[in-house]
Structure 1
Amino acid sequence: MSALDSTAHFYALLQFRGRTAAWPAAAAAAAALEAGKSKIKGSAGLVSSEASLPGLQMAAFLRYLHVVLCVQASLKYLIEFCYTVAQKYLFEGKHEDAVPAALHSLRFRVNLYGLSSVELVPAYLLLAEASLGLGRIVQAEEYLFQAQWTVLKSTDCSNATHSLLHRNLGLLYIAKKNYEEARYHLANDIYFASCAFGTEDIRTSGGYFHLANIFYDLKKLDLADTLYTKVSEIWHAYLNNHYQVLSQAHTQQVDLLGKLFENDTGLDEAQEAEAIRILTSILNIRESTSDKAPQKTIFVLKILVMLYYLMMNSSKAQEYGMRALSLAKEQQLDVHEQSAIQELLSLISTEDRRIT
C-alpha cells in the first residue's frame, strides 16, 4: 500500500467512525497555526496574536477565547484518536497503515504544544515502531533519538512516557540482535511502568512479554516460561474481573427492563489489539509444548475466551472454548476444569440466543 493509499485509508476510517465532527475546526486551527496567525500555548489557555486584543470589545474577546478553547479541545481529541488508531494498526501488524495516523498525531501535538514539548514523544515512538515493522532501522533510530533528546531536555516527563521510550528502545535492539542492550531497556520499561501503574497492571505486561521473547530466542526456556506465565496471569486477573461482574449480572437478572447486557472489556481498540497479539503469541508457544503442560495451554485458551466474549465476538469465543474443552478431555484433566470451560461455553450460547 502506498503512502497516498494509506492516508486515504486513514481519512476513510475517520469518516466511517463518525469522528469527523471536530475535524474542520481542528484543520482550520492547524492551518492558521502554520501560517503564523495564531498560537495556542497548551493547557495554560494563553493566546498571542497579531491582532490587537485590547482594541476588541469584551464580548468579542470572550467569543474569540471560546473558539480557541474549542479548538484546543478538538486538537486534544484528535491527538488521542490518531494515537489510538496508529497503536491499533501496530498491534495488528499493519505498520504502513499506522504511519499516516502517527504523523497526524505528531502534527497536532506540534500545533498544540510546540516543537520541544515532551508531549511529542508518544508520536515519535509510534513512528519509530512503525519504521521497525517496515524494516527501516535507521529511520527508527532517528525517531528514537529525537524522543530521547526531548525526554532529556524535559523536567516533567512522566514515568509512563519513560516506560514507552525504553520499551521502544528495547524493540530496536531486539531488531538489531543486541539482546544485552534490549534486556537493559526492557528492565527499565518494567521499572517505570510499575512506578506508573503497578507491577500487575496490563500496561506493565508488555515489558514482561518482550523480555520473555528475548529469553525464548536465547533458549532460556525456564525464564521465558516464568514471564509468559506472569503475563497470562495479569491478563487473566484483569479480564476475569470484568467477566465475573457480567456473569453475576446475568445470573441475578438485574436488568429489569429486559435490555441486553452490554459486554465491555474496559479497553480501547488498541489495547484489545495488544491483548489479542500477546495472548495468541503465548498460545502458539504453549501449544508447541502442550503435551508437557496442557494446563498452561488451557489457561491461555480460557483467557482468550473471556477476551472475545467481552469483545462480543461470540464465534471466536466459542472456537477457543471448544479447543480448551477438547484439550481438557484429551488430556483427561479433572472434572472441575472441564466444568469451568463448559460454564463459559454455556454463557456464550445464552448470550447468542439473547442477541438473535
Structure 2
Amino acid sequence: GRFIFPMAAHEGEQVGQFALGPAGIPTRIYDVDHQKADWVSIHEKICQLLIPIRTSFPFFNSEKERKHGMEQLLHRQKHLVDFTHKVAQKFVFEGKHEEAIPAALHSLRFSIDTCGPDSVELVPAYLILAEASTGLGRLTQAEEYLSQAQWIVLKTSDCSNGIQSKLHRNLGLLYAAKGNFEESLYHLATDIYFASCAFGTHDISTSGGYFHMANVFFRQNKMDIADSLYTEVTDIWHAHFSRLIQLACFSSTLSCMLFIHLKCFILNIDEAQQAEASQVLNAILDIREQAPKQQPAKTANVVHALAMLHYLIFDFPKATFLITKQLPNQDASEAIHHLLKYIKSKLFYTK
C-alpha cells in the first residue's frame, strides 16, 4: 500500500537502541557508550542553553512579569527545537547517522514540551529519526518513526506542503532501502510535487527529491533518466550559488571583518545546507568521473558548483584547487574565470 499506519507499540517496549515511552515516544536506553555519544553529538552544544530552561521559575510580582517569563521560556524552547533539528539534519547530510539520533531525540522532546505530543511540529524530528535509522539499516525502527509522523500528518487538515514533501521523501528513502523501487519512485514523485508547490520547481528544497529519484534510477541501471535528473540537481545548486555570488560581489568594497559579519545575512546558507550541497554534489561528481562515457561539460558544471560552495563558506584553498586542478583549461568559462578572480582577491583574508 501507499501508506504506513502506526504499528502496535506499548510503553516500555524496546525497539533497537530505544524504548517506547508514553504515546509511543522513543526514549534512548542509556549506557556509558551512549552517554558519551550523546555528549559529543549534541549535549555539549546545548548544555548552557538548557540551564535557564531547567531552572525553577522565580517568584513573580505581577501577572505581567509571569507572562513575560513564560514567553521567554517558550522562546528558548523553540530556539532549542530549531537548533537541535539543524544539528541533526547536518549529521544526516554528512552521513553521520548515529550522531544524528541524539540530536533529533532532543528536538523531538523539546517539540513535545513546546507544542504537545500530537502537534504537527513533531513531524520534522520524527522524519530525521526515520532517515537516520534508514541510513543505519534499522528499517523497522524507521517504519515506527514514519508511522508516528504519518499519523500526525493524516490528522492535520492544514498540514503544509513542505512537511508533506519531507514525509514522502522519507517514505521514498525507506522503500528504496527495501529494494521496492516502484513505491520509492511514487513517493519521491509526490515529494517533488509538494516541494514544487511550497518552494518552486527549481529551488534547492525541491532538488533533494530529484537527487534521490536519480539514485533509484541509477540502481535500476536506467542511466539516461538518472543522468537527466543529476543534471537538473546540479543546475539548481549551480544557479543558487551563482545568485549568492552576485549578492556577495559588492563585498569587494567592504573590509574583511565586516564581510564576515554580514556573511550570514548576505549568503543565507546554513551548515545543514552546506552539508547537503557537499554531499549531493560530491556524489554526482563521483558518478560523473567514474562513468564509462565521460561528459566533460557536465563534470565541469558540478566542479564549478562545488568551487562556488567552498568560496561562499570561505574555504578559498579548496575552491582554488577545484578550479585549477580539476577543471581542464578548455572548460574554463567566463564565469569560472570571474570566480577564480574573486577567490584570489580574498585569499589574503585567510592569512
Smaller-chain TM-score range?
0.7 to 0.9
Using the alignment, how far apart are the partners of 1:302 and 1:65 within structure 2? 52
Indicate which of 21, 24, 35 corresponds to 2:51: 24
Distance 1:338 1:61, change over 3 A: closer
Residue in 2 that maps onto 1:84: 86
Whether 2:184 is the aligned partner of 1:210: answer no
Single out whichever of 124-133 and 80-89 deviates more from structure 2. 124-133
- Contact residue 169 and residue 191 of structure 2 kept, 8 A: yes
Q: Tell me which of 14, 26, 37 is aligned to 2:46.
A: 14
Structure 1 position 340, deviation (Å): 4.2
Q: CA deviation at 1:348?
A: 1.2
**Cα distance in 2, alignment partners of residues 300 and 271 from structure 1:** 16
Residues 287-338 of structure 1: CA deviation (Å, up to 9, x unaligned): 113863101101100000000000001121112112333xx23xxx36xx35
Q: Summarize the alignment of residues 71-150 of structure 1 with structure 2, pairs less than 5 Å apart.
A: 71-150=73-152
Change in Cα spacing, 1:26 to 1:230, as seen in structure 2 (3 Å) is same
Q: Cα deviation per residue 1:41-83 (whole Å; 9 max; x = unaligned)?
A: xxxxxxxxxxxxxxx99x5211111111100000000000000
Give the structure 2 partner of residue 347 of structure 1: 342
Q: Which of 164, 167, 170 pairs up with 2:166?
A: 164
Q: 1:314 — aligned with what?
A: 316
In 2, Cα distance between equivalents of 1:272 and 1:164: 18
CA contact (8 A) 2:288 2:294 kept: no
Unmatched 5+ residue regions in structure 2? 1-31
Give 2:259's aligned residue: 261
Equivalent residue letter for 2:175: Y
Structure 2 equivalent of residue 50 of structure 1: none
CA 1:219 to 1:113, structure 2 compared with 1: closer, same or farther past 3 Å? same
Q: Deviations over 1:96-150 (max 9, x none)?
A: 1111110010001111111111111111111111111111110000110111111
Structure 1 unmatched ranges of 5 or more: 33-55
- Percent identity reads 47
Partners in 1 of 2:64 and 2:235 — Cα distance?
53
1:11 offset after TM fit, Å?
A: 1.8
Name the aligned partner's letter for residue 145 of structure 2: Y
Q: Which has the larger radius of gyration?
A: 1
Higher mean displacement: 194-203 or 59-68 = 59-68
Match of 1:39 in 2: none
Cα RMSD, aligned residues only: 2.1
TM-score norm. by structure 2 comes to 0.84
Residue deviations 1:252-308, cap 9 Å, x none?
A: x3x3x6755335541111111001000000111111138631011011000000000
Aligned match of 2:4: none
**2:100 counterpart SS class:** helix
Aligned equivalents of 2:201, 2:142: Cα separation in 1:
28
CA drift of 1:339 comes to 5.2
